[in-house]
Amino acid sequence: MMPSPHPFARFIQILGRGKSLTRALTMAEAKEAMGMILAGDVLPEQIGAFLMLLRVKEEAPEEIAGFVQAAREAMALPSPLPKVDLDWSSYAGKRRQLPWFVLAALLLARNGMRVYMHGGEGHTAGRVYTSEALARLGIPVAGSFEEAATHLGQRNFAYMTLDGVSPQLGRLLNMRPILGLRSPVHTLARMLNPFAAPAMLQAVFHPGYMDIHQKAAQLLGQPHMAVFRGEGGEIERRPNKPCELLTVHDGALADERWAALLSEPRQGAEEELDLGRLQALWRGEITDEYGEAAIWGTLAIALKTMGHAASQEDAQILAENMWAQRDRAGLDAAA
């Protein structure tokens, strides 16, 4: 007697029927499929096949939106949710340049805006991840949503690794060395926004994923979102290159082009990623033209996305002034 097909098998069949019959999952199908995975109702062999079929096909916005819905429903979030102004994902790690974006996020927090950052770490060798940078700055990593809420109240900033946000997704993300390729979990995790911040920043390494993030954000009803190609895939503007931005504002899709901030067309990789330079630059003990431009260039995008500036020019002026007027005493104290 033939065994009955596993309930999850139908999702693999949809994705693996060949060039002419394969289609993307609907948003509802994607939500159901990810819900089963997160509930532990799917076999390891099925998870591997599912993720790699999606990778070959390339994930659709509807699929990412459905995955995010399922992941949010599976999270044990505190009630009420803490107030957050900006959701900031950090899933790539830095290899060529220091993580200057961390200072941009902390500068927002020092100016009264609540920033929640979450990231995946250790999935790719040879990279510096956000928790390492924060440790050098004396800023703790939250181990739970409740602890993140406490950190937000103390310093307007909180960071959690994906293992804390969703252990199940953390395990899926860490399958990269096993599968040999990134999976749609890298896209899904960036879009989680657990505390429902009205503004969200996204960055990609491969420009083709910008459209996926933009349209998934629209499907999820995200009020304000901007995505761009960031340095190394992190939310960090490359100041020596023009920056193309795809945005969502109250359901409307748009694109923007921001001019380069530095005249030097190329920036070589740092010989050593000395994290001590982050605090030193903040305190004014060293100068770094590239690093400073990366900080206030990234900050300008955040400010405009959040609605604190009406134009690129206004955002740039506001960002440079915030950087110039920062409290240089250090970053380890509460805001």
Same domain assignment for residues 180 and 234: yes
The answer to the question of residue 81 being in a domain is no
The answer to the question of residue 333 being in a domain is no
Same domain assignment for residues 137 and 180: yes
* Total tally of structural domains belonging to the chain: 2
Q: Are 260 and 86 in contact (CB under 8 A)?
A: no
Domain that holds residue 215: 86-324
Same domain assignment for residues 256 and 176: yes
The answer to the question of residue 1 being in a domain is no
Place of tokens 């390339």: 58
Q: Determine if the pTM surpasses 0.85.
A: yes
Same domain assignment for residues 57 and 90: no
pLDDT of amino acid 95: 87
Q: Is the pLDDT of residue 39 over 70?
A: yes
Strand locations in the chain, DSSP E?
A: 86-89, 115-119, 157-161, 199-204, 224-229, 243-249, 252-258
Same domain assignment for residues 195 and 290: yes
- The pLDDT-based confidence of 1 (bands split at 50, 70, 90) is low
pLDDT tens for each residue of 280-321: 999 999 999 999 999 999 999 999 999 999 999 999 999 999
- The pLDDT-based confidence of 123 (bands split at 50, 70, 90) is low
Q: Are 89 and 202 in contact (CB under 8 A)?
A: yes
- In whole angstroms, what is the distance from residue 251 CA to residue 221 CA? 7
The answer to the question of residue 4 being in a domain is no
* Alpha carbon of residue 173 to chain centroid: 13
pLDDT tens for each residue of 184-238: 999 999 999 999 999 999 999 988 899 999 999 999 999 999 999 999 999 999 9
CATH number of the structural domain spanning residue 243: 3.40.1030.10
Question: Residues 114-125: what's their mean pLDDT?
Answer: 85
The answer to the question of residue 130 being in a domain is yes
Query: Burial, 312: exposed, middle or buried (Cβ in 10 Å; 0-12, 13-18, 19+)?
Result: middle
Average pLDDT, the chain: 93
CATH number of the structural domain spanning residue 14: 1.20.970.10
Q: Are 305 and 108 in contact (CB under 8 A)?
A: no
Phi and psi dihedrals of 219, rounded to 5?
-60, -35
pLDDT of amino acid 265: 64
Residue 25, amino acid: L
Same domain assignment for residues 162 and 223: yes
Same domain assignment for residues 175 and 261: yes
Same domain assignment for residues 175 and 306: yes
Same domain assignment for residues 182 and 245: yes
pLDDT tens for each residue of 155-172: 999 999 999 999 999 999
Token couple for 215: 């349209």
Same domain assignment for residues 137 and 285: yes
Place of tokens 């030097």: 264
Of 74, 98, 127, the residue at which a domain comes to its end is: 74
Same domain assignment for residues 209 and 108: yes
- The pLDDT-based confidence of 176 (bands split at 50, 70, 90) is confident
- In whole angstroms, what is the distance from residue 67 CA to residue 212 CA? 13
H/E stretch holding 214 reads helix 209-219
The answer to the question of residue 79 being in a domain is no
Closest by alpha carbon to 93, among 71, 118, 122, 113? 122
Same domain assignment for residues 56 and 114: no
Question: Which residue has better confidence, 35 or 22?
Answer: 35
